[in-house]
Chains A and B, each alone.
Chain A
Amino acid sequence: MRPGSTTVRWRMAFLTDRLTLAVAVLVALVLGMPLLKPLFAAAFPALDRPLYEADSFLALTLDHLALVGLSSLMAVVAGCAAGVFVTRPSGAEFRGILEAVATMGQTFPPVAVLAVAVPVMGFGPKPALIALTLYALLPIVENTVAGLEGVPEAVLESARGLGMGPVERLFRVELPLAAPVILAGVRTAVVINVGTAAIASTVGAKTLGLPIIVGLNGSNQAYVIQGAVIVAALAVVLDFGFDRLAALSVRWRRG
């Protein structure tokens, strides 16, 4: 085998990889949407403005991502911490309450949460952030608890018996073994939030939902399509990305 060939093959694999392709499509859509203006003009001849131009799609996408990223991050930190806490002996009694609260958070439709948050926090990204965080909490808490409970009893007993302290057990054994399940919860939360963040533009958060809302209000189907396509591409990219992470978190199973 020639020395360069593995690199070449690796590059080929990278180029044909579905995550790379999805990212390429997303980037092309975000940056190249203005180029499609003639296409939208032809498809919707009745419209004066066939392209959403009030904000750049790049700015909307970045804001959308920031909202999803920040809310998911807060949910991961709070959800994992809560999940770890209620699976320790000292926190066991709070487990029922936590699960009830998290389930309730998820029973409210996102629009209702947004509607309640607005009078309290005013318009803007803040109520959206709160709503999305609450929304992401349930799958993360649920999966953290399930993941930690799934660690085999014999593994925990030998960890204790060999002299690992509670912190060592948590970080070296329990969390790594629970990681695939926790990650699945985070994935669910993030993918839901990408969609919900679009609705958040109704309360004044600038997201990819903005062209959709504006388009729906003004009967501009082109705006709706432009926003929706990018939201969809974004969801696909994140989903594929989590696939990759999931494979990494269980590498030892194939090893």
Chain B
Amino acid sequence: MITFERVTKRFEPWTAVDGVSLTVEAGEFCVLIGPSGSGKSTLMKMVNRLIVPDEGTIRVGGEDIAMLRPEDLRRRMGYVIQNVGLFPHWTVERNIATVPTLLGWPKARVRDRVSDLLDLLKLDARRFRDAYPHQLSGGQQQRVGVARALAAEPAILLMDEPFSALDPITRGALQAEMTAIHKATGTTIVFVTHDMDEALKLANRIAVLDHGRLIQFGPPLEILHRPANDTVRDLIGREDWGLKLLAVETVGQRVRPDVEKVPGAPLPIDAPLRQAIAEMVARGTDRLPVVDARGRPAGVLHLSDVVRS
């Protein structure tokens, strides 16, 4: 869907992005992570030509984006930034309708689309449709920001640290929303963060950048199990590597297909191991029954299997 071919961008004398080659597949949730100044934002902004690369080619759906009019390219992609940047003089409805209006959609269609998006982002239409951005909390503003980016049903959504300014609870809720939206729409998402927990939670694949170079690109488990170098290890955090692993691995990966009867409420098979450990501690037990997606018994999870590597 998005292909970077040896892409370089310099802000003399600094090289912000250095010969990055990378392919983001259609429908993928790709997270860019790296220390501050590693070139994440620069790399992302080259996708919608807010920044033009000095060298290399970027293709979207096979097309070289240097050949497209920037405005047309951008209207096909959603864009969400940390500081939201809602238009303060427009209502929530008009903000969300920005791109459909630019594209000349009929009024009735725009209105319907805004209603759907308010629902999708769990914003009460009666309360928020005609509100102005300053009347919204930070979390609500970013929900509108995401709705605005999704308005014209873009195939690609670019998000630059969209939830970094939010409190942990609001951030968690919006992360869950993003996972659901990604599942429901199949949009290709490129998401910048410097928070490894967020990356592990959201990503299909994580791209680690350092000093403008692509250090590692792989699924969360691979990043955890085979960090390419010390930068990646630092981003994971050496102390709570084990806890991060528990957050990523699921019960299904450790369950014993026993028929043994274990009392207590069962765990869903796709729950993270972290949740299983929490349940074991809370219930004072070392084994829990597990059920599959349809609620049928799927075996037993033993503490000893969780801690075995």
Binding site for B on A (CB under 8 A): 152-165, 168, 173, 176-177, 252-253, 255
Contact = CB atoms under 8 A, between A and B. Distances in A.
Contacts of B128: none
Contacts of B81: 154, 157-158, 161
B242 to A, nearest CB: 38
B89 interface: yes
A161 B88 contact: no
Given A154-B85, A176-B89, A253-B134, A164 B102 contact: yes
Contacts of A157: 50, 81, 85
B140 to A, nearest CB: 15
B85 A158 contact: yes
Chain A contact residues, majority secondary structure: helix
Contacts of A163: 70-75, 99, 102
30 contacts: A152-B83, A152-B85, A153-B83, A155-B87, A155-B88, A156-B85, A158-B87, A158-B148, A159-B85, A159-B87, A161-B79, A161-B158, A162-B74, A162-B75, A162-B98, A162-B102, A162-B148, A162-B149, A163-B72, A163-B73, A163-B75, A163-B99, A163-B102, A164-B98, A164-B102, A168-B102, A252-B132, A253-B88, A255-B91, A255-B135
Nearest to B145: A158
The 10 closest A-B pairs by CB, nearest first: A158-B85, A161-B79, A154-B85, A154-B83, A163-B74, A163-B75, A255-B132, A252-B89, A163-B71, A155-B85
B71 A158 contact: no
A40 to B, nearest CB: 51
A172 to B, nearest CB: 8
Nearest to A177: B89
Q: Which of A160, A163, A168, A253 has the most CB of B within 10 A?
A: A163
B48 interface: yes
B84 interface: yes
Contacts of A159: 85, 87
B162 to A, nearest CB: 11
Interface size class, chain B: 20 to 34
Contacts of A154: 81, 83-85
B79 to A, nearest CB: 3
B309 to A, nearest CB: 44
A154 B82 CA distance: 9
A159 B79 CA distance: 10
Contacts of B70: 163
Contacts of B90: 252
B47 to A, nearest CB: 10
B71 A252 contact: no
A252 B145 CA distance: 18
Contacts of B91: 255
Q: Which of B87, B131, B145 has the most CB of A within 10 A?
A: B87
Interface in B44-86: 48, 50, 70-75, 79, 81, 83-86
Nearest to B79: A161
Contact of A162 (B89, B99, B132, B135): B99
Nearest to A160: B50
Interface in B148-187: 148-149, 158
B71 A161 contact: no
Nearest to A173: B87
Contact of A164 (B48, B71, B134, B135): B71
Contacts of A155: 85-88
Contacts of B98: 162, 164
Contact of B88 (A153, A160, A165, A252): A252
A163 B69 CA distance: 10
Interface string B11-36: 00000000000000000000000000
Given A158-B85, A163-B72, A163-B99, 4 more contacts: A156-B85, A161-B74, A162-B98, A162-B149
Contacts of A160: 50, 74
